[in-house]
């Protein structure tokens, strides 16, 4: 057995273990790993997520059981204090001595703290480990609300840290010495674009600032700059670069660079033939590489050097990077700055959308040298491949960032045009060839297999769209059909299932599984089928509760702590004082948090499962009905007061909104549906931000369709003009039914229209001109659904069998005693996660 | 809340020291789940009537530590019976409690026995 000791259990140290454990010769090795941190290696790239949605355990690259299962001895919280190159041993702070045949130094780096007066004050932190974050969190919790945090350093990590400070609820500021953000990756114009985006999120940016002193009594209170300006802050996070942790190597006589870092050759060997160095501590070709991808590459090289010797490091290391910083896409590849006699830059600046693109192209058009993308990095993978593989450029290289204007061919070409050597996943260094081969040779048959066997996409995940395309294209080229099936249980897409259910008159999920599918179903196909049954037969969610999505099953919206919110229908947003009083009284009686929704309704939060039927009994007795806020169904039709009150109103928008909402209430669809009716072009109901919207004009209503708010806002597009009430309803019936029949699961009207061949013109032909000859059928179907409407909450409370699902325990009348609430502005809210 | 997690350790048919009656088979929806109480513990019980099998696990989702798993949708993945948490759709194997999304946290499972249409869960109470 060959004894290998790894000092350092960070991302690269772990990657070394992972690669060695996967090597066929692994059995010949006995591996011992030392990490000074208390926990096994975790994902530092996504460290700021520790403040938003990930726990320390979720950030782990592998749990302790993984190391145990591979027979790797992992010593955490154990610091190696000395290396004896002669005796080939290491000594730890516990005075334990271990022998090695080969030593791997993966000690990483430490944050560089510039020698600024006052840097030792309370409230000054560095940003590297989970312990650093815990300390920041504890300190921030003690600060008054509205406290300010500054980040020293506007590089990649500094911006991440600023985001983390923002997640902590602090007012964040970034202070950078250079005149621009991310000075190693971005040029001035790109930095300006990124700055504008970040500032719009409330983060302050201060460039060209040399910090002279950190002032304050015991704790930091302000930062003073060389230009005699200052910034009052309550906390400071220093992110001013890294210094390699080379002290162990230095002490035992291994060669280190003048400015730090352990000198290695292309085999990752140090000056001692038995010792390797990898990751941020390694000084290769006079450079330290603070990115994950080169670190992983080094780990791979070291593994190969220990085993078959088949791999060494490339002479130049690619520092291309693509990431999402504070919600903004940023990418930089190749040489982002080069511009000279041979190379010209082509730039595209769109200040309206916050997009900046730059490519550096040989003046003779022969090749791409590098570039920068801010605001939209969707073309990064293709551009990177063209650069990295020195591929041929289109005749007009600007088409690479502007798209081909005129023809409709995809200028970036098909993924299959890439050479086999093209690196698709740079984190795991997976080439196009190995992805395609895994499918062609039959080792893998789908995306899941490919990810499992090549590990592509498991790093930063940026290459996922490309891997998906490659897998699909390769399968197609082998004559295998690639279908957008719902899931493993049904080999059909939603539209096919809809048609099959209707034609074969399938009535239950079990019957559908037996006749069209296999297995037990899952959380993907069950809600899809439930929605189809509802759209075909107007089944309420009470008919087959267990196949409903989480919310529909209990006819309420599940919230953070497992309690529910209750939203009765308030059609058109019109409500009488009597009904308002009922809502208030019910909320008071059950101690519910109340809030006005965006859809002009009132939401009552914090109801326990068993209280739902009790609450609804009272609401229904007072004349309310379900608002279907929990369903992929019609939510609300928002209205402005219209001509009844408004002195500008042209038509009665409230009356029409109520009529429409009551017509389509309970209608289930592929995704939620929202409507709006405005009484004049001032558009106070925001009807164009809805799936369907009506705006009163001289001579009738203008009908707009396929808009939405949310993550990808879209204004609805004009379908028809100056319609009377009846024609409006007719077109709406046709439009909605056509959408319900043909859209994929969880596809809202806007993306559905985007994918519809022929777009809005085609939709106009179908809805207005009846080009498919189905208009009457669509109207009849819709009328059938409208006639069958029943309030599902009324059903649920009237039938004791249906009501039994609202009991928390089957075998006890106790309530869940683990629920905790805290108070917030005189109301209650869930205990935070 | 973290300490709640420690209350749940997997029990296997051969390590069960007591079998506790938790209800009639008809108390549990077919191809769905419901929650039962055993001392301090909340256990989610699932009736897979399609395959005539029963499963039980902790009601506590280990992701955000809420008592919700019994309200999740059931199903299978490559033949492994599973439940999806209603909060974020994290899925867990009901056979061994492992996490099917590749994340590190998992759930404790308990054996289920059906006798004379009554449902029993196996515990190893100390």
Q: Measured between alpha carbons, how far is A657 from A644 in angstroms, rounded to an integer? A: 13
Q: What is the pLDDT of residue A413?
A: 60
Cα-based angle A138, A143, A145 (whole degrees, multiple of 5) = 125
A257 and A235 within one domain: no
Phi, psi of A573 (to 5 degrees): 80, 10
Nearest to A631 by CA among A473, A411, A791: A791
Position A816 confidence tier, pLDDT thresholds 50, 70, 90: confident
Give CA A450 to chain center in angstroms: 22
For the stretch A544-574, pLDDT in tens is: 999 999 999 999 999 988 999 999 999 999 9
A645 and A770 within one domain: yes
Residue A105 has pLDDT above 60, yes or no: yes
* Domain membership flag for residue A154: yes
pTM for the model: 0.57
A379 touches A401 (CB < 8 A): yes
The residue behind tokens 């649920």 is A796
Q: What is the pLDDT of residue A201?
A: 86
Q: Does A79 touch chain B (CB under 8 A)?
A: no
Provide the CATH number for the domain around residue A750: 3.30.413.10
Coil vs helix vs strand at A190: helix
* Domain membership flag for residue A388: no
Percentage of chain A lying above the pLDDT 90 cut: 68
Q: Measured between alpha carbons, how far is A605 from A595 in angstroms, rounded to an integer? A: 8
Q: Does B86 touch chain A (CB under 8 A)?
A: yes
Q: Which residues are CB-neighbours of A103 under 8 A, at least 6 positions away?
A: A4, A5, A7, A83, A88, A90, A274, A275, A276
Q: Measured between alpha carbons, how far is A552 from A726 in angstroms, rounded to an integer? A: 32
For the stretch A328-340, pLDDT in tens is: 899 999 999 999 9
* Domain membership flag for residue A470: no
Position A411 confidence tier, pLDDT thresholds 50, 70, 90: low
Q: Measured between alpha carbons, how far is A633 from A584 in angstroms, rounded to an integer? A: 26
Asked if the Cβ–Cβ distance from A510 to B50 is below 8 Å, we say yes
Residue A451 has pLDDT above 60, yes or no: yes
Q: What is the pLDDT of residue B102?
A: 74
Burial, A430: exposed, middle or buried (Cβ in 10 Å; 0-12, 13-18, 19+)? buried
For the stretch A83-102, pLDDT in tens is: 999 999 999 999 999 999 99
Q: Which residues are CB-neighbours of A263 under 8 A, at least 6 positions away?
A: A255, A256, A257, A270, A271, A283
- Closest partner residue to B104 among A57, A527, A549, by Cβ? A57
Residue of B nearest to A510 (CA): B50
Position A112 confidence tier, pLDDT thresholds 50, 70, 90: very high
- Closest partner residue to B75 among A522, A549, A554, by Cβ? A522
Phi, psi of A504 (to 5 degrees): -85, 0
Q: What is the pLDDT of residue A414?
A: 64
Specify the higher pLDDT residue, A4 or A422: A4
Coil vs helix vs strand at A45: coil
For the stretch A44-62, pLDDT in tens is: 888 888 887 788 888 999 9
How high is the mean pLDDT of chain A? Answer: 91
Q: Does B29 touch chain A (CB under 8 A)?
A: yes
Q: What is the pLDDT of residue B1?
A: 56
A66 and A207 within one domain: no
Q: Measured between alpha carbons, how far is A280 from B27 in angstroms, rounded to an integer? A: 59
Mutate to test the interface with A, among B20, B47, B51, B71 (most CBs of A within 10 A): B71
Give CA A822 to chain center in angstroms: 29
End position of a domain, from candidates A551, A567, A599: A551
- Closest partner residue to A809 among B37, B77, B105, by Cβ? B37
Nearest to A249 by CA among A270, A229, A265, A228: A270
Q: What is the pLDDT of residue A426?
A: 77
Q: Which residues are CB-neighbours of A406 under 8 A, at least 6 positions away?
A: none
Position A144 confidence tier, pLDDT thresholds 50, 70, 90: confident
Burial, A515: exposed, middle or buried (Cβ in 10 Å; 0-12, 13-18, 19+)? exposed
Q: What is the pLDDT of residue B126?
A: 57
- DSSP per residue over A517-571, as a string? B-TT--TTHHHHHHHHHHHHH---TTSSGGGS-HHHHTTSEE-TTS-EEE-B--G
Position A408 confidence tier, pLDDT thresholds 50, 70, 90: very low
* Domain membership flag for residue A373: no
Q: How far away is chain B from the Cα of A800, in angstroms, using its nearest Cα? A: 13
The residue extents of the domains of chain B are 2-123
- Bridge partners (DSSP) listed for residue B48: B53
Number of structural domains (chain A) is 4
* Domain membership flag for residue A698: yes
Specify the higher pLDDT residue, A222 or A145: A222
- Bridge partners (DSSP) listed for residue A230: A224
Residue A127 has pLDDT above 70, yes or no: yes
Provide the CATH number for the domain around residue A102: 3.50.50.60
Q: What is the pLDDT of residue A656?
A: 97
Q: How far away is chain B from the Cα of A659, in angstroms, using its nearest Cα? A: 34
ipTM associated with this complex: 0.93
A667 touches A704 (CB < 8 A): no
Q: Measured between alpha carbons, how far is A560 from A564 in angstroms, rounded to an integer? A: 9
End position of a domain, from candidates A284, A306, A328: A306
Q: On the CB side of A785, how many CA atoms lie within 13 Å of its CA?
A: 29
Residue A238 has pLDDT above 80, yes or no: yes
Position A107 confidence tier, pLDDT thresholds 50, 70, 90: very high
A651 and A529 within one domain: no
B58 touches B42 (CB < 8 A): yes
Q: What is the pLDDT of residue A533?
A: 95
Residue A412 has pLDDT above 70, yes or no: no
In terms of residue numbers, what domain contains A131? 124-240
Q: What is the pLDDT of residue A409?
A: 44
Tell me which of A385-399, A526-540, B68-82 is least confident.
Answer: A385-399
A267 and A231 within one domain: no
Q: How far away is chain B from the Cα of A63, in angstroms, using its nearest Cα? A: 7
Q: What is the pLDDT of residue A168?
A: 86
Neighboring chain A residues of B121 at a CB cutoff of 8 Å: none
First to last CA, chain B: 22
Q: Measured between alpha carbons, how far is A564 from A607 in angstroms, rounded to an integer? A: 5
Give the residue-averaged pLDDT of A526-537: 94
Q: Does A521 touch chain B (CB under 8 A)?
A: yes
* Domain membership flag for residue A175: yes
A272 touches A254 (CB < 8 A): yes
For the stretch A278-332, pLDDT in tens is: 999 999 999 999 888 899 999 999 999 999 888 889 888 888 888 877 878 999 9
A432 touches A394 (CB < 8 A): no
Asked if the Cβ–Cβ distance from B104 to A558 is below 8 Å, we say no
A666 and A522 within one domain: no
A224 and A195 within one domain: yes
Phi, psi of A776 (to 5 degrees): -65, -40
Nearest to A679 by CA among A644, A722, A724: A644
* Domain membership flag for residue A473: no
Percentage of chain A lying above the pLDDT 70 cut: 98
The residue behind tokens 């909340």 is B42
Q: Number of CB pairs < 8 Å for A and B?
A: 113
Neighboring chain B residues of A831 at a CB cutoff of 8 Å: 1
Residue A407 has pLDDT above 50, yes or no: no
For the stretch A171-213, pLDDT in tens is: 999 999 999 999 989 999 999 999 999 998 889 999 999 999 9
Q: What is the pLDDT of residue A10?
A: 95
Position A482 confidence tier, pLDDT thresholds 50, 70, 90: low
Residue of B nearest to A514 (CA): B50
Q: Does A25 touch chain B (CB under 8 A)?
A: no
H/E stretch holding A279: none
Residue A448 has pLDDT above 90, yes or no: no
Asked if the Cβ–Cβ distance from A811 to B30 is below 8 Å, we say no
* Domain membership flag for residue A694: yes
Neighboring chain A residues of B62 at a CB cutoff of 8 Å: none
Q: Does B32 touch chain A (CB under 8 A)?
A: yes
Nearest to A46 by CA among A333, A426, A459: A459
Position A405 confidence tier, pLDDT thresholds 50, 70, 90: low
H/E stretch holding A328: strand A328-334
Strands (E), chain B: 18-24, 32-38, 41-48, 53-58, 60-61, 66-67, 73-77, 80-84, 91-93, 109-110, 112-115, 118-123
Q: What is the pLDDT of residue A681?
A: 92
- Closest partner residue to B86 among A509, A550, A831, by Cβ? A550
Q: How far away is chain A from the Cα of B15, in angstroms, using its nearest Cα? A: 22
A130 and A98 within one domain: no
Nearest to A661 by CA among A729, A781, A571: A571
Q: Which regions in chain B score pLDDT beneath 70?
A: 1-2, 126
Spell out a b/e string for A74-93, using b for 16 or more CB atoms within 10 Å of the CB, else e.
bbbebebeebebeebebebe
Helices (H), A130-289: 130-142, 156-167, 188-200, 247-252
Neighboring chain A residues of B87 at a CB cutoff of 8 Å: 550, 558, 560, 562
Cα-based angle B52, B58, B61 (whole degrees, multiple of 5) = 115
DSSP state of A490: B
End position of a domain, from candidates A240, A265, A292: A240
Q: Which CATH fold topology does B2-123 show?
A: Rieske Iron-sulfur Protein (2.102.10)
For the stretch A661-712, pLDDT in tens is: 999 999 999 999 999 999 999 999 999 999 999 999 999 999 999 999 887 7
Asked if the Cβ–Cβ distance from A816 to B91 is below 8 Å, we say no
Asked if the Cβ–Cβ distance from A489 to B65 is below 8 Å, we say no
Phi, psi of A564 (to 5 degrees): -125, 160
């Amino acid at each position: 057995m060959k004894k290998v000791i790894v000092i350092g259990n960070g991302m690269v140290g772990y990657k070394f273990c992972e690669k060695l454990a996967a090597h066929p010769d692994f059995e010949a090795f006995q591996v011992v790993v030392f990490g000074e941190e208390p926990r096994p290696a975790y994902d530092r790239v996504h460290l700021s997520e520790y403040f938003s949605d990930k726990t320390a355990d979720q950030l782990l690259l592998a749990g302790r059981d993984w190391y145990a299962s591979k027979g790797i001895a992992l010593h955490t919280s154990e610091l190696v204090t000395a290396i004896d190159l002669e005796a080939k041993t290491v000594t730890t702070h516990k005075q334990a001595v271990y022998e090695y045949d080969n030593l791997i130094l993966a000690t990483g780096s430490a944050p560089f703290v510039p020698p600024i007066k006052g840097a030792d004050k309370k409230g000054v932190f560095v940003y590297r480990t989970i312990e650093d974050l815990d300390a920041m969190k504890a300190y921030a919790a003690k600060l008054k609300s509205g406290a300010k945090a500054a980040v020293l350093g506007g590089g990649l990590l500094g911006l991440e840290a600023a985001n983390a400070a923002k997640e902590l609820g602090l007012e964040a500021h970034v202070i950078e010495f250079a005149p621009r953000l991310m000075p190693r990756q971005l040029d001035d114009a790109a930095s300006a674009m990124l700055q504008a985006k970040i500032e719009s999120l409330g983060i302050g940016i201060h460039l060209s600032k040399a910090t002279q002193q950190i002032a304050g009594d015991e704790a930091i209170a302000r930062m003073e700059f060389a230009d005699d300006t200052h910034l009052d802050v309550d906390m400071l996070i220093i992110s001013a670069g890294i210094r390699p942790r080379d002290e162990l190597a230095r002490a035992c006589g291994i060669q280190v660079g003048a400015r730090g870092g352990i000198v290695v050759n292309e085999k990752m060997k140090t000056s001692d033939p038995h010792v390797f160095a990898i990751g941020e501590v390694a000084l290769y070709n006079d450079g330290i590489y603070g990115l994950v991808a080169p670190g992983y590459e080094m780990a791979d090289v070291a593994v190969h050097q220990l085993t078959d010797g088949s791999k060494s490091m490339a002479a130049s290391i690619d520092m291309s990077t693509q990431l999402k910083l504070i919600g903004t896409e940023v990418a930089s590849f190749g040489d982002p700055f080069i511009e000279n006699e041979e190379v010209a830059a082509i730039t595209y600046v769109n200040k309206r959308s916050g997009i900046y693109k730059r490519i550096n192209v040989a003046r003779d058009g022969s090749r791409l040298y590098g570039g920068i993308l801010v605001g939209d990095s969707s073309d990064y993978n293709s551009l990177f491949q063209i650069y990295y593989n020195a591929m041929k450029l289109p005749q007009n290289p600007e088409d690479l960032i502007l798209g081909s204007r005129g023809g409709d061919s995809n200028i970036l070409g098909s993924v299959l045009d890439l050479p086999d050597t093209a690196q698709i996943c740079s984190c795991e260094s997976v080439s196009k060839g190995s992805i395609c081969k895994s499918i062609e040779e039959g080792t893998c048959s789908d995306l899941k297999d490919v990810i499992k066997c090549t590990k592509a996409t498991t790093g930063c995940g940026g290459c996922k769209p490309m891997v998906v395309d490659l897998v699909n294209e390769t399968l197609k080229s082998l004559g295998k059909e690639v279908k957008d099936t719902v899931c493993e249980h049904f080999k059909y897409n939603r539209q096919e299932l809809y048609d099959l259910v209707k034609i074969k008159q399938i009535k239950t999920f079990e019957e559908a599984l037996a006749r069209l599918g296999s297995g037990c179903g899952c959380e993907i196909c069950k809600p899809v089928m439930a929605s189809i049954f509802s759209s075909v037969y107007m089944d309420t969610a009470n008919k087959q509760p267990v196949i409903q999505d989480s919310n529909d099953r209990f006819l309420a919206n599940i919230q953070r702590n497992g309690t529910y919110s209750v939203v009765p229908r308030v059609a058109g947003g019109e409500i009488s004082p009597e009904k308002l009083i009922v809502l208030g009284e019910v909320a008071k009686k059950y101690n519910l948090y109340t809030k006005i929704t965006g859809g002009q309704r009132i939401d009552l939060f914090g109801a326990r499962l068993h209280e739902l039927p009790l609450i609804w009994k009272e609401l229904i007795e007072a004349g309310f009905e379900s608002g279907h806020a929990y369903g992929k169904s019609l939510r609300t039709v928002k209205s402005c007061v219209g001509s009844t009150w408004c002195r500008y109103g042209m038509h009665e928008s409230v009356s029409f909104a109520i009529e429409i909402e009551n017509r389509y209430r309970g209608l289930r669809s592929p995704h939620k549906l929202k409507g709006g009716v405005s009484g004049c072009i001032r558009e106070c109901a925001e009807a164009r931000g809805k799936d369907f919207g009506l705006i009163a004009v001289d001579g009738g209503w203008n009908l707009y369709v396929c808009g939405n708010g949310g993550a990808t806002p879209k204004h609805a597009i004009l379908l028809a003009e100056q319609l009377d009430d009846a024609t409006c309803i007719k077109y709406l019936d046709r439009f909605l039914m056509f959408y319900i029949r043909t859209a994929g699961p969880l596809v809202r009207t806007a993306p559905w229209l985007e994918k519809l061949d022929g777009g809005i013109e085609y939709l106009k032909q179908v809805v207005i001109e009846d080009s498919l000859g189905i208009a009457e059928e669509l109207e009849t179907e819709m009328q059938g659904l409208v006639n069958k409407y029943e309030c599902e909450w009324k059903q649920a409370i009237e039938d004791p069998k249906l009501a039994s699902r609202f009991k928390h325990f089957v075998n006890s009348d106790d309530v869940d005693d683990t629920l905790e609430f805290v108070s917030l502005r005189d109301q209650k809210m869930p205990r935070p996660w | 809340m973290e300490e709640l997690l420690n209350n749940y350790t997997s029990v296997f048919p051969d390590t069960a020291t007591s079998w506790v009656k938790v209800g009639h088979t008809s108390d549990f929806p077919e191809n769905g789940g419901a929650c039962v109480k055993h001392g301090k513990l909340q256990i989610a019980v699932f009736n897979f009537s399609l395959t005539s099998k029963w499963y039980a696990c902790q009601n506590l989702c280990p992701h955000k530590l809420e008592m919700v798993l019994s309200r999740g949708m059931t199903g299978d993945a490559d033949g492994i019976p599973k439940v999806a948490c209603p909060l974020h759709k994290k899925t867990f194997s009901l056979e061994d409690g492992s996490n099917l999304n590749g994340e590190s946290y998992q759930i404790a499972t308990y054996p289920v026995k059906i006798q004379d249409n009554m449902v029993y869960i196996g515990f190893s109470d100390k």
